Each structure stands twice: as C-alpha cells, then as structure tokens.
Amino acid sequence: MNYTLHQLQVFLKIAQTQSVTKASIELHLSQPAVSIQLKNLQEQFEIPLTEVIGRKIYITDFGKEIAEAAENILKEVEAINSIRLNYQGQLAGRLKISIVSTGKYVMPHFLSSFIKQNQGVNLSLDVTNKSRVIENLENNEIDFALVSVLPENLQVESIVLMQNKLFLIGSKGQDLQKGHHCSDILCEIPLIYREQGSGTRHVMEEFMKQNNLTVLKKMELTSNEAVKQAVIAGLGYSVMPIIGIKNELKNGDLEIIPVGGFPIKSNWQIIWIKGKKFSPVASAYLNHIKKEKRKIIKENFQWFERY
C-alpha cells in the first residue's frame, strides 16, 4: 500500500458529498484532479471503493469503511500538527461552527481576522438551515452556532453580534402602488417562503400570527439565493433579511416595500450549549469576538445602518 494523505482527504470528501463535482468545489481542486486522486487510490485496492450508476457515484460498503478509517487517520494527523504548533507557542486546533444560511453574509467577517492571526487553526464551517444548526448544537458536534432565532427547548449561552432586519421585498418592476402600506397588503400578494426549519420562515410566520394575517403562499424554496432570484424574476414577494440583498438593492434589482410593522428586527447571536467546556481554540475565538466585534461591525456593516 502506498496511498497518500492527500488521496485519503480527497476520497473522504467524495464519500461525504457523494459527488466528484461537489468534492472538487469544497477542496478547491479541478474535477480531473479529484478524479485522478480517486483513480490512484482505487488502484491500490482490489475491491471497488465506488460504483457509478447512470451519472451518479455511489460509495460501496467497502468504500464506506475506508472513508471512516481515512477520517480517523486525518484527525490523528491534525492532532499531531496541533501538538507541534502548540509546542512552538502557536494556537492550533479545529474551530467548528454551524450557521444558518443567511449567516453566510455575516459570519465570515467575524472569522477573518482571527483565522489570519492564527494560522494553526483549522475552520469547519457548516452552512445549513436553522433545524440542522440546532441539531448540531444539541449533539455537541460544534463549538458555536450563529442564529437569529434562539432555540426554544435548549439551554444556551450567547453573545449578540449585531441586529438583523427583515423587510418585504419586491422586484424592480413590481405592481404595487408606491408609498406606505398597512400589513394587510401581505394578504393580497403572492408570497415566496423559505422551507420548513428556516429561521427566516419562522420570523415570517410569527409576524403573520401576531397580526392575524392569512396569506397566499405562492411557493416554497430552499435557499435565500433561490428566493432572491424568484423575486427578481417577478414570481412574487418575500420577507428577506437586508443583510443578504445589499448588491440587489444597490443595483435596483430589488426594492424595499414600506409596510407597517417592518422591518422585523431580531439579533444575530453566537450561541453555545450552556456549561460547555471550550477547547483552547474555541476559548480564544470567544475572547476575540468579545474584544473585536464593534471594530468588525464598523469596518464591514456601516451600510446596514441606513435601513
């Protein structure tokens, strides 16, 4: 056997994503490069690691066991590197964070300077919906989560990062009369929703419930980007966080529709399980956020205050 750590890393990513294409994107490699590494690894085994049916790749039972072993090997290598760096006086280890999908417009700015200052820190950042984020937190699979709606049945501690504002959004050519509308307008227009489990959807539905509004749900989409494009195309209206539509507002592709009770406000918060014992990396990151968050907000989110 003469497989390399790089081959194991590539194969593990293929097994996790069930796709050579997705693996290449996440590893920042070309598809041919990923395919070559898979081929080179496969040549060292007589039993298939994968099989292709149609255009989809499947991991065999043997391949699943190799992927599990590869994951353990790579964790041990990471641990060795962390020990080396710690002995050299550098902070080292893995920082694991799960964020709701809209949080991708927020969290990178609160990570950038910390990661740059600590080259020995490896970041694992999972971008998903609110339900999955809370599941990760509850299973103690992560250090921190970024949410705008706190979990109801989980004891957590938190730090507020910044405000979150949601507005009713329409396309540039939308048909509504100009001017301010009362909240009843939401009953008259086709609304585009996020999927069940989304924090944005939760906020929308709570607003409808509090105002006794019965609305026309036009469609349900699984990402903010999909909702954004559907609104731009004129398929309906939606309630969206302002943080994710900066460029579309600037370019005039989307417009804020003034409605009574809007913006709906919440807070972006970093949360963790109450009583969690932090690793040195997680503890250092928490201290970094407490010290630097005002500076980060000033440098990256001043535009946000205009709305």
User: CB atoms < 10 A from the CB of 286, how many?
Assistant: 17
Q: Which residues are bridge partners to 269 per DSSP? A: 147, 160
Res 255: pLDDT:
92
Show me where the domains of the chain are located.
Answer: 5-86, 91-162+271-306, 163-266
The predicted pLDDT at position 159 comes to 94
Cα–Cα distance measured from residue 168 to residue 186, given in angstroms and rounded to the nearest whole number: 9
Confirm whether 5-86 and 163-266 share one CATH topology: no
The pLDDT of residue 83: 74
Measured CA to CA, the distance from residue 228 to residue 251 in angstroms comes to: 13
Q: How much is the pLDDT for 80?
A: 77
Q: What is the pLDDT at residue 78?
A: 75
Q: Are residues 67 and 3 in contact, defined by beta-carbon separation less than 8 angstroms? A: no
> Topology of 163-266 in CATH?
D-Maltodextrin-Binding Protein; domain 2 (3.40.190)
How would CATH label the architecture of 5-86? Orthogonal Bundle (1.10)
Residue-by-residue pLDDT tens, the chain, 307 positions: 788 989 998 999 999 889 998 888 888 888 899 999 999 999 999 999 999 888 889 999 999 999 999 988 888 887 777 677 666 666 778 899 999 888 999 999 999 999 998 888 888 898 888 888 998 898 888 999 999 888 888 899 999 999 999 999 999 877 777 888 888 888 888 889 888 878 888 888 888 888 888 877 778 888 888 999 999 998 889 999 999 898 899 888 999 999 988 999 989 999 999 989 888 889 999 999 999 999 999 999 988 888 8
Nearest Cα residue to 235 out of 215, 220, 257: 220
Q: What angle do CA 291, 79, 156 make, to 5 degrees?
A: 45
CATH architecture assigned to 91-162+271-306 = 3-Layer(aba) Sandwich (3.40)
Q: Taking each helix axis from N to C terminus, what angle separates 31-42 and 5-17, rounded to the nearest 10 degrees?
A: 110
Please report the pLDDT score of residue 294 as a whole number. 93
pLDDT of residue 90: 67
